[in-house]
Amino acid sequence: MTTTEQVKAALRGRRERIAATHERAFVNEIRYAVDWISSQQMLLDILVVARAAEDVPEVADWLSGLREETYPEIWPTKTDAGRAALIWKLMQYIAALPREPNRYAIWDEVTGVIIGGGKDSGFEFTEDILAPLFDFLADHLTDTAAGLHALRRYKERVEWFDRAELHAGFRPGSGHDKGEEYFNNDLQRFLFLDARFVTSAKVRLAKTEPDLLAGIETEDPLICEGKLFEAKSDDAEKIADGFHQVTIYAKTYSKTVGYLVVYNVSDRDIEFPHDGAEAQWAPYVEDAGVRVYFIHLRAKVPDKSASKTGKADPVRITRDMLFKIGNTS
């Protein structure tokens, strides 16, 4: 069972438990579900995108409006994503209700306003009100989400725990190809052992072929290119080349998603353009139906502490650089 299938199965289980819970335990079951969703980074990434789709009202204001209407319009949102974001806020609102054992807070504050309370209100509330959130999350739990989750975990593992050890094996001046191969081997090992991606890394038959492939027969395969960044004059060109390689390969095989991992062994930060919501991880750029995510891996232990590094001097990669340089290389 893949990571996405496991999370989808767990989502179904959470939804069923809420629907079947006695009203005395309903608030607690909502709390458990909120805590669990908050612990799933893939789901939180989806909710970040949902929140950016439109402005949704505060739950208290929304409930007040429902009380004042004779025939209320339940959903004030215009999109599925906006509705999912509002339901998530509602669940968090319910989870924060005071613990009062002699008072059915959920019925007084929420259920009675929306569906009128009564027998089987828990099931009705779950299926009529909460279900669109669970459906939205399940629909967006694609292999893309699993790929991003795996690459985020790899980035965090290296930057939090293994950076010094990994960088110690890197030989500066050995050339981009050997440096990229060194880091790609470590990434491939992680993807296989920790994320269950059966990847293949091979010598390219053509310049446009990416470094790592997994699940090419699936809807959203892992098409991954790795590029070494040493803050040299031609590094922007190499990043653009990587972007171009991923997009060309994805288009050739009618795929929609690719990943560019940038192994930064310099002391400078990198800023990437982003076509998505500001808070969404990771930044991405779309080109003719292909979305390329940029995974920035800080692979060098800083020579100085943060308080002594001075003013930040990031290398800014722009859209123009990606398209002009990449398409002419």
In SS3 terms, 139-151 reads as HCCCHHHHHHHHH
The token duo for 82 is 């906006």
**Amino acid code (one letter) for 125:** F
- What is the Cα–Cα distance from 140 to 143, expressed in whole angstroms? 9
0.75 cut: is pTM over it? no
pLDDT band (50, 70, 90) for residue 320: very high
pLDDT at 205: 42
- What is the Cα–Cα distance from 226 to 183, expressed in whole angstroms? 8
Report whether the peptide linkage leading into residue 150 is cis, meaning its omega lies within 30 degrees of zero: no
What is the per-residue pLDDT across 256-267, written as a single tens digit (0 to 9) for each? 888 999 999 999
pLDDT band (50, 70, 90) for residue 206: very low
DSSP 96: T
Percent of the chain with pLDDT over 70: 77
Instruction: Give one DSSP letter per residue of 230-271, joined into a string.
Output: -S-TTHHHHHHHHHHHHHHHHHHTT--EEEEEEEE-SSS-EE
Answer yes or no: is pLDDT of 139 > 70: yes
Answer yes or no: is pLDDT of 203 > 50: no
**Amino acid code (one letter) for 148:** L
- What is the Cα–Cα distance from 262 to 317, expressed in whole angstroms? 12
Q: How far is CA 252 from CA 58, 80, 223, in A?
A: 45, 32, 12
The token duo for 164 is 């010094």
- What is the Cα–Cα distance from 247 to 319, expressed in whole angstroms? 14
Contacts for 210-219: CB closer than 8 Å, 24+ residues apart:
210/245, 210/246, 210/249, 210/258, 211/180, 211/184, 212/184, 212/187, 212/188, 215/143, 216/253, 216/255, 218/143, 219/142, 219/143, 219/256
The token duo for 114 is 């929306």
pLDDT at 250: 82
Report residue 245: phi and psi, to 5°: -60, -45
Sheet holding 200-201, edge to edge: 200-201, 212-214, 222-229, 257-264, 290-298, 284-287
- What SS3 state is found at 210? coil
Of 138-142, 223-227, 272-276, 302-306, least confident by mean pLDDT is 302-306
Average pLDDT, the chain: 80
pLDDT at 24: 73
What is the per-residue pLDDT across 25-46, written as a single tens digit (0 to 9) for each? 788 889 999 999 999 988 988 8
